[in-house]
Amino acid sequence: MWQALKFTLFSASAGIIQLGSFELFTKAFGWTYLPAYLTSLVLSVLWNFTFNRRYTFRSDANVPRAMALVALFYAVFTPLSSWWGKALTDIGWNEDLVMIGTMLINFVTEYLYQKFVVYRGMIDTNDVARRAKEKENA
């Protein structure tokens, strides 16, 4: 339960980065949905990966391997979400509503993917987890 809560909190912070940068790109710079979405997504993914690896899943899994697995997730998610986002905004849906809905879908699917694919068998293996275990046993 605590792991899901930490993932939620870090994802919320990544969501703030994604929404904030998306709003900046669309409102201040006049970018269209697709480039604004893709750029803000990359920023939030990097943030989320870094903090969830260290503090949520407390994993010492190989960083290049873990990042490659996350990249595979986004190799599927990004084209799909870009397609439905553009399609929905092209027919008049509010771009902020589309972005928030997409972020919610991403939140649920990414948690499951990271927990059961990226960090499977490697959860609670880093220095943060070891120190917590030592403190618990002391």
Average pLDDT over residues 2-26: 94
Report the share of the chain in percent with pLDDT over 90. 86
Q: Of 104, 109, 108, nearest to 19 (Cα)?
A: 104
Does the structure show a pLDDT above 90 at 2?
no
Q: What are the residue boundaries of the structural domains of the chain, listed by start? A: 2-137
Q: Could you identify the residue written with the tokens 């990249």?
A: 71
Report the share of the chain in percent with pLDDT over 70. 100
Identify the pLDDT of residue 55: 93
Q: Can you list the alpha helix ranges (DSSP code H) found in 24-54?
A: 33-51
Identify the pLDDT of residue 103: 86
- Give CA separation, 56 vs 6, 81, 100, 124, 134, in Å: 6, 25, 23, 9, 18
Q: What is the pLDDT of residues 42-80, one digit of tens each?
A: 999 999 999 999 999 999 989 999 999 999 999 999 999
Q: Of 59, 53, 48, 62, nearest to 129 (Cα)?
A: 59
Query: Which residues have a Cβ under 8 Å from the Cβ of 92 and sit 6 or more positions away?
Result: none
